[in-house]
Amino acid sequence: MKVNEQKLNEIVEKAISDLAAGYGGVMVALGDKLGLYRAMAGQGPLSSTEVAKLAGCAERYVREWLNSQAAAGYVVYHPSSETYELTPEQAMVLANEDSPLFLPPAWEVPASMWFDEEKTIEAFRTGRGIGWDEHNPRLYRGVAAFYRNAYQGQLVSDWLPALENGTEKLNAGAKIADVGCGHGHSTIIMAEAFPGSRFWGFDIHPDSIEAARANAKKRGVGDRVTFEVADAKNYPAQGFDLICFFDCLHDMGDPVGAARHAREALSPNGSIMLVEPYANDRVEDNLNSIGRLYYSASTTLCCAHSLSEEGMALGAQAGEKKLTKVLKEAGFWTIRAAKKTPFNLIVEAQP
């Protein structure tokens, strides 16, 4: 078969750029963990000696690392003074841990995927699932830290107000469940914003529940938040006014069963809020960087976990149409997309 030179060059260029990004992820993790980005933030142009001194690291390593960052476009290099600068925009993504755009912890996720490669190869061959609890622990830290910032930036200010009476309900004092709560950041952020409401977080992963309890204590909301190990289909149905699923319904083996249990656990005027990875309904409309990221995570994490349970394997790119079908099967009839962001689809449903 004849090879088209131009097309070949394009794919090679793309593959090399992706490979460089893979190497670069290790550099980002180093920059975060060694405090190099934080040392540079707000300082203007610095020599490699100054960066090394501020971060307490060896200059020769730091100089090489700085050049990798300049090549990545993550710091600016000034050739005339041989100095390096982290701009305010770069600091928002790389240095400021409270910024909703802070990305370094996200690299813990592919790090865990590499650790688990053998398990994934085996799973592809046998079709068996891989439970959430079977992964390298870097996964849990990465997911929790990455999502925490998005929730901190948007949950109370944008997502809850997009629900019908969402903010009013929580201000008035409501009972809220956070199903598949992981390390509990979403639960805790809501508990901080709505001190008159009562919150329950449920997850099947005992280590995550332990981390969630520790986080609640650290953030001083232990009086109004309870975290329990429980499956999405059997936590106590105690008349919740709002039941939330943050990035987890598609992970479940039986999302219809989980949504049905939620319906039965609601108070008469209660509703559920699904926060799912943003996706269009058709594969061909998800073929972009975000789709690539989510389909990849979905292959090794989301589908793998679902297959370890009942195995519906909706996938992280299910899209509104398939999610609506799941909710209808579970007995929800008023369903609407309350909000769409480049990363998330927020769906509200009532029986």
Ligand X SMILES: C[S@@+](CC[C@H](N)C(=O)[O-])C[C@H]1O[C@@H](n2cnc3c(N)ncnc32)[C@H](O)[C@@H]1O
**Given candidates 102, 199, 200, 246, which one binds ligand X under the rule CB under 6 A?**
246
Binding string to ligand X for residues 193 to 212, with x set by CB under 6 A, is what? ----------xxx--x----
Buried b (16+ CB within 10 A) or exposed e, 240-262: bbbbbbbbbbbbbbbbbbbbbbb
**Which of 180/319 has CB closer to ligand X?**
180
Cα distance between residue 210 and residue 227, in whole Å: 8
What's the closest the beta carbon of residue 288 comes to ligand X, in angstroms? Answer: 21
**Which of 211/335 has CB closer to ligand X?**
211
182 near ligand X, rule: CB under 6 A: yes
Alpha helices by DSSP H, listed for 199-313, are: 206-218, 255-265, 289-297, 303-308
The CB-nearest residue to ligand X is 182
The two three-digit tokens of residue 267, written as one number: 């108070």
**Strand 76-78 to 83-85 pairing:** antiparallel
In 3D space, the residue among 244, 178, 238 whose CA is nearest the CA of residue 208 turns out to be 178
The two three-digit tokens of residue 169, written as one number: 């309900």
Cα distance between residue 245 and residue 263, in whole Å: 13
What's the closest the beta carbon of residue 93 comes to ligand X, in angstroms? Answer: 20
What's the closest the beta carbon of residue 306 comes to ligand X, in angstroms? Answer: 8
Any idea how long the chain is?
351
261 near ligand X, rule: CB under 6 A: no
213 near ligand X, rule: CB under 6 A: no
**Which of 40/254 has CB closer to ligand X?**
254
In 3D space, the residue among 150, 18, 40, 145 whose CA is nearest the CA of residue 95 turns out to be 40
- Binding piece for ligand X, criterion CB under 6 A, among 99-107, 142-150, 160-168, 287-295: 142-150
**Given candidates 40, 75, 248, 266, which one binds ligand X under the rule CB under 6 A?**
248
- Binding piece for ligand X, criterion CB under 6 A, among 3-11, 120-128, 174-182, 321-329: 174-182
- Applying CB under 6 A, the residues found at the interface with ligand X are 132, 143-144, 147, 180-182, 186, 203-205, 208, 231-232, 246-248, 251-252, 305, 309
